[in-house]
A and B are shown apart, each in its own frame.
Chain A
Amino acid sequence: MKKIMSILVVMLFVLTNSVFAGAQTEATEEKVVLNVFNYGDLTTPEGQAWLTIKDEFLKQNPDIVIEDDSQYDETYHQKLQALLAAGTVPDILYAWQSGDRLQPLLDAGIAIDQRPFINQDDYFANSMTGFGPNGEMWTVPIGVGAHHVMYVNTEILNELGLSIPETYEDLKGQVDTINNAGYTTIAMANADTWVMGTCLFSTFLGRYGGAEWITDVYKGKAKFTGDVAVNALKMVRQLYVDKVLPEESVLTDYGTSLSMFINDEAVYMIDGGWRAGGFDADFASKVGWIAFPAIPGEKYAGSINGGVTPGYAITKPATEDPAKFEAAKKLLSFISGEYAHRVRAETQGVLPSYKISGSIVYKEGTEAQGEFLNNAALVTLTMDNMITGDPVTITNTGLQELGLGTKTAEEVAAEIEAAMMR
């Protein structure tokens, strides 16, 4: 019996030690320690890019030590909550420039204007929009992108003897040919509620309302019950009625839509510019990038919605210690600078917001997105970049209900507006 007990005790000891596992880096004297909270999965190109950039910075700045943590998706947001609630705010963190994802930082009072820390001329003008009430830029974005792209499988299109549709009527006319040949018209992941709102609905809003409309709504100068939004909602419904979007689109989840498209089962796919990362080189060569055809009654032809990607920001607490502040500024410039952008463009396929000098070999798909974005007649905002909380959830659910036909455009508009008012 005693023997068993002692074995148990030893086991417990070993177990509890592994329980309290957790490495911690020690800050040595003379070196400044920067605490960075990063977003990303280290096993993906995104995560690898971060490591490359960080290592180069450390080489160039031997007197700075970086303690970094990378989290992804859900855990990122939960960990951030934890950090904020516990009061241990990182010095630099990855953040969104507006919307729901930024809100916790604003609430905690740690978000500060990043404009004094960078030279804005180094960046493309359209990436330097400030979303704060006085034009503050809460983060320095590391990229730009189109949030709406209508991908075309040109091989199937040619096989069916069709050409790129220029108006909605054109597209509608193609539906029967496509279906009779056994293909799906548009692969779109409308089971995931955000997709319609981010990748198509916002474009419709832009077509009817122009670049200022969403900002106007945010400021209370326009309403969702007005013509712009109601017509955009009606247009969404119309897509289902005309079978341009198949009924099962509302069932298609995010992995399935890509799967359908790259397996030559659908002629078109509507998604964001980032999705092109899922095409291999062979497939990418037969994909065309277009904006959604002209819709009836549109005022701003050819507009798409897009915006900047998230980026990095120095937090308020980091500004309090002079040595730390200096180090933080250096790090921010570096991870938002030429080298970093180059790395990301080459390995990740992120379209840089920085004006990179010299030539780069972009990762496949990046150039196409760059061209697409540059050729766009107008780039408007994406709805959930400006509007946060309940209205977004209700919009997204409402868009699904439009797909199912369980609510009318006016009803959905009224619900969204009611949520905005609260």
Chain B
Amino acid sequence: MSLSGIKKKSIKAFVGKISTYALFLSYTILTIYPLFWLAYSSLKTNHAIQKNAFSLPEIPQFINYIEAWEIGRLGLSFFNSMIYTVTSVVFVLLSAMMASYAFAKMPFKRVSKYIYIFIGFGILISTHSVIIPLFIMLLKMGLTNTRLGIILTYTAVSLPLAIFLGTEYIKGLPDSLIESAFIDGAGNIRMFLSIILPMTVPVMVTIGIMTGLASWNEFLLGFIISGPATRGLPPALVAFANPRTPNFHLQFAGLMISILPIVVTYSIFNRRITRGVVAGAIKG
């Protein structure tokens, strides 16, 4: 290439680099700014929020958070969300891993295939396809406004994806391992618990994260099926931070209370979370 050609090329590369930086920078700003604005606005008085959208708080009103917490009963909802998330993750992991092992490594392959496809359809389904009959069913059983109904449902809707991920993963484990364990005299259950399960920790982490996130952030079901004492954080937030009140300071504080735990968890476990979610997607 001629000298001017090289020059042209490096100018082009330079421009390319600058514009790329600009693109990403603006994208980051656009992503972060609303959250940043929310954060500092939540520390203003209601009056200050309404007077000027941009102003920074004169004196940080931490009391907004306390008021929002009490009035919106966010403490109770927080607790409920924790229960739902933890129990659904536990139930999903237990049952999905068992089934995954059964589908991936146990005999009866043909039966497994049919059941697997049957459950696979569940990935297409989301809560609102089942919500009406589910609501009626829980109504008749007297389980609305109880925690049990919600836990069972959160577990069930996260199962299909969990089984898909688990089965694919276990399929990838070497058969030789299992053969030798059998030769050593291990029974099926022992096999599953002592050998397979410890090797599936990566996929369990993925499933745990996905189920946990889904349950923690779930709204519709919680909104319809639960009452003030049993609702999780998202429905409580909607009941509290709705467009009918002019209490912006409380709304913003409530939003921040919902966001903070997730942001904190995310910053600590960032790599794990993104890797986990992406791993699931790559497999597909």
* A86 and B140 in contact, given A255-B245, A259-B246 (Cβ under 8 angstroms): yes
Out of B73, B140, B228, B245, which one reaches A75, CB within 8 Å?
Answer: B228
Which B residues, 223 to 250, have Cβ-Cβ distances below 8 Å to chain A? Answer: 223-224, 227-228, 239, 242-248
Residue of A nearest to B86 (CB): A15
Complex CA gap A149/B43 in Å reads: 34
Interface check B45, CB cutoff 8 A: no
Residues of B within 8 A of A15 (CB): 83, 86-87, 90
Interface check A392, CB cutoff 8 A: no
Interface check A258, CB cutoff 8 A: yes
Chain B positions 121 through 163: 1 when the CB is less than 8 Å from some CB of chain A, otherwise 0: 0000000000000000001101011111001000000000000
Interface check B199, CB cutoff 8 A: no
Interface check B28, CB cutoff 8 A: no
Which B residues, 77 to 119, have Cβ-Cβ distances below 8 Å to chain A? Answer: 83, 86-87, 90
Q: Is the CB of B246 within 8 A of A20?
A: no
Q: Is the CB of A254 within 8 A of B90?
A: no
Which A residues, 72 to 97, have Cβ-Cβ distances below 8 Å to chain B? Answer: 72-75, 78-79, 81-82, 85-86
Residues of B within 8 A of A375 (CB): none
Residue of B nearest to A12 (CB): B90
Interface check B194, CB cutoff 8 A: yes
Complex CA gap A71/B140 in Å reads: 19
Interface check A113, CB cutoff 8 A: no
Residue of B nearest to A11 (CB): B90
Residues of A within 8 A of B248 (CB): 255, 259
Out of A1, A19, A255, which one reaches B244, CB within 8 Å?
Answer: A255
Residues of A within 8 A of B71 (CB): 43
- Chain A contact residues: helix, strand, loop or mixed: helix
Complex CA gap A278/B46 in Å reads: 13
Q: Is the CB of B139 within 8 A of A256?
A: no
Interface check A22, CB cutoff 8 A: yes
Complex CA gap A71/B73 in Å reads: 14
Out of A1, A18, A74, A255, which one reaches B246, CB within 8 Å?
Answer: A255
Interface check B193, CB cutoff 8 A: yes
Complex CA gap A74/B145 in Å reads: 13
Shortest B152–chain A CB gap in Å is 10
Residues of A within 8 A of B83 (CB): 15, 18-19
Complex CA gap A219/B243 in Å reads: 36
Residues of A within 8 A of B142 (CB): 86
Interface check A263, CB cutoff 8 A: yes
Interface check B283, CB cutoff 8 A: no
Residue of A nearest to B223 (CB): A74
Interface check B51, CB cutoff 8 A: yes
* A79 and B87 in contact, given A85-B140, A255-B246 (Cβ under 8 angstroms): no
Shortest A298–chain B CB gap in Å is 31
Interface check A262, CB cutoff 8 A: yes
Which A residues, 1 to 24, have Cβ-Cβ distances below 8 Å to chain B? Answer: 1, 8, 11-12, 15, 18-22
Q: Is the CB of A21 within 8 A of B228?
A: no
Give the contact-size bracket for chain A: 20 to 34
Give the contact-size bracket for chain B: 20 to 34
Complex CA gap A75/B231 in Å reads: 11
Q: Is the CB of B144 within 8 A of A21?
A: no
Residues of A within 8 A of B146 (CB): 19-20, 22
Q: Is the CB of B139 within 8 A of A254?
A: no
Residues of B within 8 A of A191 (CB): 243
Interface check B50, CB cutoff 8 A: yes
> Which one of A43, A82, A191 has the highest number of Cβ atoms from chain B below 10 Å of its Cβ?
A82
Residue of A nearest to B226 (CB): A75
Which A residues, 258 to 291, have Cβ-Cβ distances below 8 Å to chain B? Answer: 258-259, 262-263, 278
Q: Is the CB of A82 within 8 A of B228?
A: no
Shortest B258–chain A CB gap in Å is 19
Residues of B within 8 A of A255 (CB): 242-248
Residue of A nearest to B141 (CB): A86
Interface check A253, CB cutoff 8 A: yes
Shortest B267–chain A CB gap in Å is 27
Q: Is the CB of B51 within 8 A of A1?
A: no
Shortest A102–chain B CB gap in Å is 21
Residues of A within 8 A of B86 (CB): 15
Residues of A within 8 A of B50 (CB): 259, 263
Q: Is the CB of B227 within 8 A of A254?
A: no
Residues of B within 8 A of A262 (CB): 246
Q: Is the CB of A254 within 8 A of B244?
A: yes
* Given A1-B193, A20-B148, A75-B228, 7 extra CB contacts under 8 A: A19-B151, A43-B70, A78-B144, A86-B140, A86-B142, A256-B246, A259-B246
Q: What are 12 A-B residue pairs whose CB atoms fall within 8 Å in the complex?
A: A8-B90, A15-B83, A15-B86, A19-B146, A20-B146, A79-B227, A82-B144, A85-B139, A255-B243, A255-B244, A259-B50, A259-B246
In the A-B complex, the 3 residue pairs with the smallest Cβ-Cβ separation, listed nearest first, are A253-B243, A259-B246, A254-B244
